[in-house]
Chain A
Amino acid sequence: MTLTAETESDASQSAVAERVRKIREAQDTGVSRAEGWRRRGPLLPALIFMIAVTQVPFLFTLYYSTLSWNLVRPGSRQFVGINNYVAVVQDRQFWSVAGNTVILIVGVVLISALLGLGIALLLDRAFLGRGVVRTLLITPFLITPVAGALIWKTTILDPNNGILNWVLSLVGIGPVDWIGQFPLVMVMVELIWQWTPFMMLLILAGLTSMPRDQLEAGRVDGATAIQLFRELTLPHLRRFIELGVVLGAIYLVNTFDAIFMMTQGGPGVASANLPFYIYQRAFLGFDMGQAAAMGVVVVIFTMIIASFALRLIFKSFSGKEEAA
């Protein structure tokens, strides 16, 4: 009886193995067209939807960028070729805003990644109430960004009644108009507050997925904590940190809520980033042609940076799979 059972399970195993082998074969030589389409079938609705909703509008943006078109002057719409782009390149405010955007993204991503790393290391040890602390820590990521920015602007950073100035007054530092004097920095602080939990969660996942025996072996061998961290922990964490950086940057490119709520881009355009500046041009200035051209320029920049970033993610993933 045992023999029959074994042969049966052997038979079914080899049947599956046979199927897998056939698939791999077909893979290498190229799958039959029908099979290929059947594989891709479930993908199509999502693909078509995304193309329709994202690519089509962008094509329109390209078209608009070649027009001189201001919404408050109906009938003034006319083709002007690349005039809008020339104007954009010559617009000093545009470049200053572009600079703000880069500073904002790089600053927020780097600092929140570092902070996230530190906090994740703290949370990696067991202590009383660790779960509660983690719950407290993820809250800034959950709160509606406009609500969070509102709270920062009013109750914390207000020059007269804000908490920050009150705390500083206890050590004798006079009231500071934080948002007035350091608009971009304050927006960045709020964003760092919001995004550090995200980085922390990712890095914490990396820490908990790390095999402990290597660390134990290292400790027994007499390695210091810093050495252990640098040689063992950090390389393992690298892909988690990279993922956090890339995802964070993707979302931060579109940052709008904090600026809208805290500074309205001001004073002037000191704290405006590209999305806010384009928003101003389009919806407050009604200059669709110019705004469209700026949008295209932003897309070009983003694609250049994104192609590097995507290569990084895919390389990091496939590298890990090979190593594993």
Chain B
Amino acid sequence: MTTTAERATATDEAAPVHKKKSKKFSPWGIVAWLVGLGFFFPVFWMVLTSFKQESDAATNPPTLFFTPTLDQYSAVFDQGIGPAMLNSVFATGMSTILVLLLGVPAAFALSLRPVRKTSDALFFFMSTKMLPVVAAILPLYVIVSNLGLLDNIWALVVLYTSMNLPIAIWMMRSFFLEVPGELLEAASLDGASLWRSVREVILPLVSPGIAATALICVIFAWNEFFLAVNLTAVNAQTMPVYLVGFIAGEGQYWAVLSAAATMAALPVILCGWFAQNKLVRGLSFGAIK
């Protein structure tokens, strides 16, 4: 009788004796693996193709076994990927730093018991995100051009900051809300030692949240294309723009295109993989609070 009852309420995790075995061979687990591999496949294929000779790259049926070569990567480097890489690093890094400098204080202010106007401010920040970039690109182009900043990386720095700031404030606010209320209010009341109490007590508590926010900013800034392609030409081009320029030149040469695409995408992919848990926390905290 006990056995029947056990079986009746058994789930995957029920009987400890069989736990490991059913964990390994759970059919849903296999489905999950298939789905995961399926979603990953295009990226896998991109990296694989980047190691092929061109003759192996665009074939029917697709070549799975071939002698790998680094020729494509050296071709990409020969074409001068360095400046584009530096530009991307600079634009991404600087804009993320600016986002944190502007956004952390703002999120802090918004997470205190709201003064009458602060919820309006939050609404405003979110609403700027909803305005399509395309509506502002024309005057942006004209303004940037008149300021002599066309093809200057600083234009992108400023614009990426404005692009990421709303989401960053929203995410960091949700992390600040996690801090016990008394700490926040005590900090805001302490006047002269406000900065110290923030720095020594509160920031360490929210630093994982700040890291998660920074990661999201890095992802969006590095991958941004629309602003970069319209506001830069040769000197300030970022990796996505470089990649597109590569296509115009190389046309149907899939292997070298794959190599360029891999170089363009790899930094952020690696960042996201290694900081995966932070990324998940960041995204989900926006949801939980």
Q: Name A residues whose Cβ lies closer than 8 Å to a Cβ of B.
A: 16, 19-20, 23-24, 27, 30-31, 36, 38-43, 45-47, 49-50, 53-58, 60-61, 64, 119, 122-123, 125-130, 132-148, 150-152, 154-156, 158, 160-161, 163, 165-166, 193, 196-198, 201-202, 204-206, 209, 219-220, 239-240, 243-244, 247, 250, 253-254, 256-257, 260-261, 274-275, 278-279, 282-283, 288, 291-292, 295-296, 298-299, 302-303, 306, 309-310, 313-314, 317
Q: B130 to A133, Cβ gap below 8 A?
A: no
> Closest chain B residue to A27 by CB distance?
B113
Q: B105 is contacted by which of A36, A42, A279, A317 (Cβ under 8 Å)? A: A42
Q: B28 to A127, Cβ gap below 8 A?
A: yes
In whole angstroms, what is the CA distance A260 to B244 when docked?
10
Q: B36 to A50, Cβ gap below 8 A?
A: no
> Closest chain B residue to A305 by CB distance?
B130
Q: B243 to A146, Cβ gap below 8 A?
A: yes
Complex interface: chain A residues within 8 A of B158 (CB): 53
Complex interface: chain A residues within 8 A of B262 (CB): 147
How many chain B residues touch A (Cβ–Cβ < 8 Å)?
109
Interface of B, secondary structure class, is: helix
In whole angstroms, what is the CA distance A310 to B288 when docked?
16
> Min CB distance, A210 to chain B, in Å?
11
198-250 of chain B: CB within 8 A of chain A: 219, 222-223, 225-226, 229-230, 239-240, 243-244, 247
Q: A16 to B182, Cβ gap below 8 A?
A: yes
Q: Name B residues whose Cβ lies closer than 8 Å to a Cβ of A.
A: 9, 11-13, 23-24, 26, 28-29, 31-33, 35-37, 39-40, 42-43, 45-46, 49, 58-62, 101-103, 105-106, 108-110, 112-113, 115-118, 121, 123-143, 158-159, 161-162, 165-166, 169, 181-182, 185-186, 188-189, 219, 222-223, 225-226, 229-230, 239-240, 243-244, 247, 254, 257-258, 261-262, 264-265, 268-269, 271-273, 276, 279-280, 283-284, 286-289
In whole angstroms, what is the CA distance A261 to B257 when docked?
13
Q: B159 is contacted by which of A16, A53, A125, A260 (Cβ under 8 Å)? A: A53
In whole angstroms, what is the CA distance A261 to B230 when docked?
15
Q: B118 to A253, Cβ gap below 8 A?
A: no
Q: B136 to A139, Cβ gap below 8 A?
A: no
Complex interface: chain A residues within 8 A of B185 (CB): 19-20, 23
> Min CB distance, B199 to chain A, in Å?
13
Complex interface: chain A residues within 8 A of B32 (CB): 119, 122-123, 125, 127, 130, 133
